[in-house]
Amino acid sequence: MHRLRNFKFVLVMVAGLFGCHEKIKAPSAAEQETAKVEAPVVEEEKPKAKDSRGQTCRDDRECTSYLRCIDGLCEEPPAMSGKVQIDTPRAIFQGPDGKELATFHLELAVAPYEQSRGLMYRRSMRPDWGMLFIYRRDEVLTFWMRNTLIPLDMVFLDASGTVQGVVRAEPLTETPRSVNKPGRYVLELNAGTAEKFGIAQGAQMKLEHVDPEYTP
C-alpha cells in the first residue's frame, strides 16, 4: 500500500493550473512530445518474477512480493506465519477509562520502502497481528490500497498514541483515506478488528519492544 504524500497540494495545483471553467488552449503536437520527454517517471514497485524465499538479503527491497528480509533471509512475514519471538513489537490499547481493550503483535514499517510496500500482495494476516507505520513528524497521513488484497482497518494516531479516528479500507482501491488530522502513526488491522475491540477515537496505544525513539 502506498502513502499518498501532499495529496491536497496536488489537487490545489491542478485546480490552479486548469481553473474551474476557463478554457485552455490545447498543446501542439510538438509540445506534447516535449512534455512526454520531460515529465518525471515514477516507477511503481511490482513483485519480481522469481520467488526469493530463502535467499540472502540486506533489506525488504531484495525480497519479492510480500516476503520480508528477516535475519538476513527473505521469509514469510510474521503477521502471516504468526511466529512470535520474545522481542516481537506489541501494541496495547486502552480505552479512555484506562480499561485494556486489546493487544496486537506488530510488524513495523519505518523506512520509506517498508511504508511504500506495506501489506501489498498478502492474502491473509493473523487476527492478533497488525502493521504499524511510524513517521518522524506530525502530518496529515493519507493511504490507499493499491495491490492490497485484504480489507483493513486503518487506525490513525497522533504523537501521544491517541487514536484520532478509524477508517475501513476496501482491497484493491485507490481512494485516498485519511482522518484529516495531523498524526504520527497508522496501525493496519484486519477489517472489523477495531470495532470488535472498541478501538475508536480517544483510545490510547502503548508500544512494547519498540525503539524508544519511535514510542509515544
Count of residues in the chain = 216
Burial of 200 (0-12, 13-18, 19+ CB in 10 A): middle
Q: Could you list the residue range(s) of the whole structural domain that residue 28 is in?
A: 7-37
Q: Are residues 114 and 14 in the same domain?
A: no
- Residue-wise pLDDT for 176-202, tens only, equals 999 999 999 999 999 999 999 999 999
Q: Are residues 132 and 170 in the same domain?
A: yes
pLDDT of the residue at 51 = 87
**Residue in this structure with the C-alpha cell 480489507, named with its chain if needed:** 151
Q: Which residue has the higher pLDDT, 50 or 129?
A: 129
Q: Are residues 65 and 92 in the same domain?
A: no
**Residue in this structure with the C-alpha cell 494516531, named with its chain if needed:** 157
1 lies in some domain:
no
Share the mean pLDDT of the chain: 84
Q: Are residues 57 and 93 in the same domain?
A: no
pLDDT of the residue at 25 = 40
User: How many domains, the chain?
Assistant: 3
Q: Which three cell numbers stand for residue 140?
A: 496529515
- Residue-wise pLDDT for 95-120, tens only, equals 999 999 999 999 999 999 999 999 99
Q: Are residues 184 and 118 in the same domain?
A: yes
162 lies in some domain:
yes
The Cα–Cα gap between 74 and 22 comes to 53
pLDDT of the residue at 177 = 96
Q: Which three cell numbers stand for residue 39?
A: 515529465
Q: Are residues 120 and 170 in the same domain?
A: yes
- Evaluate if pTM is beyond 0.75: yes
Q: Are residues 146 and 208 in the same domain?
A: yes
97 lies in some domain:
yes
Backbone angles phi, psi at 166, to 5 degrees: -130, 135
List strand residue ranges (DSSP E) for 110-198, in order: 129-140, 152-157, 163-169, 182-190
Q: Can you give the CATH number for the domain in which 125 is found?
A: 2.60.120.1140
Q: Are residues 15 and 33 in the same domain?
A: yes
Q: Which residue has the higher pLDDT, 43 or 158?
A: 158
